[in-house]
Amino acid sequence: MGNGITIGESKAVQDNDKILLQVMTRKKEKQNDKDSRLRGNTLYVGDLINRQEMVSDKFAQAQKRAVKCLMDQFEADLAIDEGMKESENLIGEIEKDALDAHKHIKAIDERRGEIMGRYEIDPDSQEQKDLELVQKANLAKKDPFNKELAFTEEEEKRLQEMPPLTEYQKEMLECDKEEEKYRNIIQSNHQNIAVENATIHATEKALLKVHPMVDAQKDAEEMIKSALKEQIGDLLQEGVDKVDEDTEEAQKEQVEAKEKALEEKIRREKMKKEEAEQEVSEQELQETVFSAAMQMASGDQQATQNLQTNIKVLIQDQIVLDVDMKGLRVNQQV
């Protein structure tokens, strides 16, 4: 061929083509790996979104439980408050009834004065004294252990000798019965008021000790905190797993890169060695051809034939590919 390319240059071109092909192949593989990682990341993001949705659902459930805890306690507190309010209202009604009873008793006292005036009774009269003795006897029957209501012999004798009750005495005793009724109402009301007040006081004291709403709020806060910790822990673990995966992938890529760099270095050193050997071979060939040319120039026909034979052998061995060897021209007899 007449383009002037040497054997070494031709082989170098072939090697360069191989190197270029390897580079392109590795570049394509690297791009495929990158695309694969990107697809992996996309899948990971999708999985992470699903994971976040699951964690969010757990957190929402925890919030619902916390709210329910507060609402249940609020309803319980509301029931307690309503009970205390009912007691307060009942106390108000009882006090009103007691006030009405006192008004009736006051009216009865006024009626007693009217009865005494109507019958023109003298407070120091025997009829009045007999009435007072009968009233004392009635009180003693209700409270037999009251020493202040004990009778003297004279009083007992008078009770036995006392004549039938007069109309005045009967009316006055009816007033006593009516007054007793209202006094019993007042006494019962006072007891009921005491019970309701004690209930309210005990409830308030118990609430101060147990703090149900405060405890419920703490429980709710703990539920939320626990859910948040779980949510953060899950997401953090997800991130740690992703970091570990990325780190492992990066380490793998680094190892592969180092292996490829080492292979490339070995290949280049080998190419340099081959090129050096090729250059030595070419140098020896040039020296041989140059020596033969010198002999041919001196008119040695045998040397010319030997040169022709050597060149043919070189061509057959694919060492010399072109008769044009760095400007050397062989005459037509060769």
pLDDT of residue 97: 93
pLDDT of residue 319: 47
pLDDT of residue 38: 45
Nearest C-alpha neighbor of 127 from the set 167, 90, 187: 167
| Whole-model pTM over 0.85 | no
Residue 323 three-state SS: coil
Residue 325 three-state SS: strand
pLDDT of residue 314: 56
Q: What percent of the chain has pLDDT over 70?
A: 58
Token duo for residue 2: 């007449």
Token duo for residue 243: 């970091």
What lies within 8 Å, CB to CB, of 308 at 6+ separation is: 333, 334
> How many residues belong to the chain?
334
CA distance 54 to 145: 80
CA distance 98 to 71: 40
Question: Which alpha helices (H) appear in the chain, and where do they start and end?
Answer: 7-118, 126-142, 153-161, 167-210, 212-297, 301-316
pLDDT of residue 269: 75
* pLDDT tens digits, one per residue of 179-222: 999 999 999 999 999 999 999 988 888 877 766 667 777 777 78
Stretch 239-267: mean pLDDT, rounded?
71
* pLDDT tens digits, one per residue of 100-126: 999 999 999 999 999 999 999 999 999
* pLDDT tens digits, one per residue of 261-303: 777 877 787 777 777 777 766 676 566 655 655 555 555 566 5
pLDDT of residue 241: 64
The answer to whether residue 316 scores a pLDDT higher than 90 is no
Token duo for residue 154: 């004279």
Token duo for residue 117: 């005036």
Nearest C-alpha neighbor of 72 from the set 61, 82, 64: 64
Token duo for residue 321: 């590919």
CA distance 162 to 147: 23
More confident residue, 162 or 314: 162
Q: What is the band of 68 on the pLDDT scale with cuts at 50, 70, 90?
A: confident
CA distance 110 to 226: 75
Q: How far is CA 14 from the centre of its chain?
A: 66
**Mean pLDDT score across all residues of the chain:** 74
The answer to whether residue 320 scores a pLDDT higher than 60 is no
pLDDT of residue 16: 54
Stretch 255-260: mean pLDDT, rounded?
76
Tally the C-alpha atoms within 13 A of residue 143's C-alpha that lie toward its C-beta. Answer: 8
Token duo for residue 315: 């061509």
Specify the amino acid at residue 12. Answer: A
Virtual CA dihedral for 304, 307, 312, 315, nearest 10 degrees? -140
Instruction: Judge whether 138 and 176 are in contact, CB under 8 Å.
Output: yes
CA distance 129 to 158: 10
**Is the dihedral angle over the CA atoms 237, 238, 243, 244 positive or is it negative?**
positive
